[in-house]
A and B are shown apart, each in its own frame.
Chain A
Amino acid sequence: ELKVEQNPLFLSMQEGKNYTIYCNYSTTSDRLYWYRQDPGKSLESLFVLLSNGAVKQEGRLMASLDTKARLSTLHITAAVHDLSATYFCAVGRNRDDKIIFGKGTRLHILP
């Protein structure tokens, strides 16, 4: 059974600091997603990683994938308050659209 574990689940950090969210998954997967969710809102797609060694960056966020270790990371550089949200990683397989989500990391960035 495909399982996804994220850590930490809660993160409070100061503006300007760097931090990393980790996502481990249990079995082979074809794609790895990172989503952002603001309170009361839907999911916003941040990154989709499809192959080993893939790295994608958007602004202060950078995601990477190591399929051999079944590990993805979301790195936050010089955090700003606007990045406060819950971040989910999720994995899926090409044969269908079923996505298995991690529990999410609630990120709170203090001014």
Chain B
Amino acid sequence: KAGVTQTPRYLIKTRGQQVTLSCSPISGHRSVSWYQQTPGQGLQFLFEYFSETQRNKGNFPGRFSGRQFSNSRSEMNVSTLELGDSALYLCASSLGLAEYNEQFFGPGTRLTVL
């Protein structure tokens, strides 16, 4: 069974640009969550999508947005990039059911903003 995949794995952008990251969940998983990891702030929850709807959102500015497609693949977009957006962006997928279900993390996308 294929794991969670993220593309691209590495990305270099300049301030003011925008970027789109992609996450393909494990087959059959309907929930995709996104996290930002930085040395200073650690791992922070961005948002979660379930069946194409945003189900939960963290405390990030509106420059950070996402969406989920009917095949459960998800994209995350960051507009007007700032230096502080440099981070490892991780996505995780799960079945998304009401009771506990295990989340599986992808390898991450390393974004560098110059």
Identify the A interface with B (CB < 8 A).
30-31, 41-45, 48, 50, 88, 90, 94-104
Contacts and interface: CB of A to CB of B under 8 A. Distances in A.
Q: How large is the interface on B (under 10, 10 to 19, 20 to 34, 35 or more residues)?
A: 20 to 34
Interface string B83-114: 00000001010101011111111111000000
B42 A103 contact: yes
Interface of B: 31, 33, 35, 42-45, 48, 50, 55-56, 58, 90, 92, 94, 96, 98-108
Contact of A42 (B42, B45, B90): B90
Contact of A97 (B43, B90, B96): B96
Nearest to B104: A45
A48 B43 contact: no
Chain A to chain B: the 9 pairs with minimum beta-carbon distance, closest first:
A101-B43, A43-B105, A98-B56, A96-B56, A42-B105, A103-B42, A42-B107, A97-B31, A97-B48
Contacts of B102: 45, 48
A98 B34 CA distance: 9
Most chain A C-beta atoms within 10 Å of own C-beta, residue among B100, B104, B107, B108: B100
Most chain B C-beta atoms within 10 Å of own C-beta, residue among A45, A94, A98, A103: A98
